[in-house]
Structure 1
């Protein structure tokens, strides 16, 4: 996985001169009453493979409040967007237009919006040269919007323009401000879903039983990171390729994810096909050791008071049992649930041993885990959420079109239960959050 492509549009002298010149075509009273507009875009290639890549984009508003946004750019080498989350897109030739989702259209002054996408490429994958937000080129500067200047400007400027009788034909631009460091720590109270850090995927130090997904620059996160140990569908304990995109999504939001499979799918001495909850609790032990290992990129970067278990399908059974460990503070069951007949060796009586909030996500009636997910929610005595997306089926949250929706729900639940984030709590439990999205129904209890 290569993480070496990034882009930030910053202000430049030419842009400042154009904006100043454009001001000669409007009156001073118009400038005083117009809203200001300005933006900055961070574009980063977060992963790359033969013929494909993943990218994250952060749009920062440096002007007045925006209610509804549209970001446009042109790919320079024939790339194409194939899948996008936290927004919608259209592409015509090289020109790409991304519009906001229903929940992230408002951007306050100084605030931002994030989205990510997967794309295809052939030959090379250079970053776009420029971006425009709602028609305004993103330079990092604030500009007052104005009508397009006449191709042949009037030789006599309006007397209301300026007290200066003769404007300089070529104003001297101000020096460009120094760019802010890209690794500035994230504010601790910022909702996790607004983060989009580049991610490193690597084998766990000292063992080939785990794959670790983590922010590439832990110092950029701004605080010690929570840990999520994850069990794969089919209790796959060697090949974890199915969950790469989903777990990258979570790690990009500021979590360290320890997955129960070797990084290259090689044999690691563990059989697949049946739940082994101790693999998840041993993953917590690995994180504890790594947090104290001198030379580790995670040295003193983990918060072991904020640990969660999660898993998909058979891996969800592992997460529910491992979640009984007293070090665990939150549990997520994706398309899973303990069977009424005690299949796989664990009865639903195990649910009474949970001591943390738990979230059950299922893909609706076509999900083979639909009945188990609902039945487990009904029996759970701890604070619990049942979130169902009727179009997702059994694998939509992991490999399907509902991946970004499902992983957004996971991140928001973890942010609520591990980080006590109020915005995330509103998204999970409030009527205008996840429950308001198309095809979703949400129930909760004991909160």
Structure 2
């Protein structure tokens, strides 16, 4: 069943123009909140929202910020992957807009935090829980996500085929959980991500997975391919607080799908079910 725009629990603010949402055939997500899609809103210009198209009135959605590969301002460059994650019950705010040819910055991602923390839990954003925010991104977008680790409003970081470029020691001071999803030795960001993982201080939860697909990942495969699969479990565990989803990342699930996994201090990770 396809839902009309009026069925969106996440509509634009009353003063904004009508949202536009696109459901790509075969890429509307496989999670429990599917189908999902993306839309833009005058309420936050220069950004794109990915969300389930039908949200139960009593459901809460956590928030994931996304920086695109190449720091591209085309927020649909990884649309199949981001739609898949949204279908697992998260509001994704991607920097940029559909088809935009410009670039983005870490400050644009911070604008997402400012907006959603100011509006979550009220009006058209009543379903959003902004006490659960993770910043994530691919390649250059991962650097934008790293910049948010110092923001008290962000609880965790997701690094997708990325790593610090010039400040090689910054990871020594990380105090928040970081999840690294890398493309194996042929990924140009592989050494950077491996270095950052190793540099994080003892006691801080961290997880690292490598899938031998190179830097391009599987973002544009149907529903984001294997990156979409593991990303869905990551969303359900870290953002929605479903401890059973952790089994895929730490048990045989990811390994059986070809991921090489390493992690440490996850016992210090405290995540409760979203309410």
Per the TM superposition, whether the score is higher than 0.5 is yes
1:442 is aligned to: 261
**1:245-324 maps to which residues of 2 (within 5 A)?**
245-265=80-100, 272=103, 276-291=105-120, 294=123, 296=124, 299-324=125-150
Correspondence for 2:162: 336
- Aligned partner of 1:54 in structure 2 is 26
How far apart are 1:3 and its partner, in Å? 3.8
**2:206 matches 1:384:** yes
Task: Give the Cα separation in 1 of the matches to 2:218 and 2:171.
Answer: 23
1:222-241 → structure 2 map (5 Å cutoff) = 222-237=58-73, 239-241=74-76
Q: Could you say which residue in structure 2 is the equivalent of 1:181?
A: none
Conserved? CA contact 2:63–2:128, under 8 Å: yes
In structure 2, stretches of 5+ residues that fail to align are: 5-21, 267-275
Following the alignment from structure 1 to structure 2, what is the Cα–Cα distance between the partners of residues 199 and 402?
11
> Is 1:207 the counterpart of 2:33 in the alignment?
no
3-state SS of the aligned residue for 1:333?
A: strand
Q: Could you tell me whether the CA contact under 8 Å between 2:88 and 2:236 is conserved in 1? A: no
CA distance 1:286–1:204, shift in 2 (3 Å):
farther
Conserved in 2, the CA contact under 8 Å of 1:332 and 1:410? no
Per-residue deviation, 1:293: 5.5
Change beyond 3 A, Cα 1:213–1:401: closer
Deviation at 1:198, TM superposition (A): 1.9
- Mapped to 2, the partners of 1:412 and 1:358 lie a distance apart of 15
Q: Which runs of 4+ in 1 moved over 4 A?
A: none
1:282-301 Cα shifts (integer Å, max 9, x gaps): 1011112332563x2xx211
Distance between the aligned counterparts of 1:301 and 1:441, measured in 2?
36
- Separation in structure 2 between the aligned mates of residue 247 and residue 402 of structure 1, nearest angstrom: 8
The equivalent of 1:136 in structure 2 is: none
1:28 aligned partner: none
Q: CA deviation at 1:247?
A: 0.7
Cα distance, 1:385 vs structure 2: 0.9
Structure with more helix by fraction: 2
1:40-439 alignment runs, 5 A limit: 47-48=23-24, 53-54=25-26, 116=30, 194-219=31-56, 222-237=58-73, 239-265=74-100, 272=103, 276-291=105-120, 294=123, 296=124, 299-339=125-165, 342=166, 347-381=167-201, 382-390=204-212, 392-400=213-221, 403-430=224-251, 432-437=252-257, 439=258
**SS in structure 2 of the partner of residue 241 of structure 1:** coil
Task: Compute the RMSD of aligned alpha carbons.
Answer: 2.5
User: How much does 1:55 deviate?
Assistant: 5.9
Deviations 1:4-54 (A, max 9, x none): 59xxxxxxxxxxxxxxxxxxxxxxxxxxxxxxxxxxxxxxxx824xxxx22
| Cα distance in 2, alignment partners of residues 321 and 353 from structure 1 | 13
CA shift, 1:402, in A, is 9.3
Greater C-alpha Rg: 1
**Alpha-carbon distance in structure 2 between the residues aligned to 1:228 and 1:350:** 22
Is the 1:324–1:353 contact (alpha carbons within 8 Å) kept by the matching residues of 2? no
CA shift in 2, pair 1:210/1:55, >3 Å: closer
Q: Is the 1:330–1:414 contact (alpha carbons within 8 Å) kept by the matching residues of 2?
A: no
Task: Summarize deviations over 1:306-345 as a string: whole Å, max 9, x none.
Answer: 1111000000011112122111112110110002xx1xxx
Q: Is the 8 A contact 1:3 1:47 kept in 2?
A: no
User: Normalized per residue, which structure has more strand?
Assistant: 1
Shift of 1:265: 2.1
Which structure has more RCO (C-alpha within 8 Å, separation ≥ 6)?
Answer: 2
Partner Cα separation in structure 1 for residue 183 and residue 159 of structure 2: 12
Q: Determine the C-alpha separation between the residues in 1 that align with 2:207 and 2:254.
A: 11
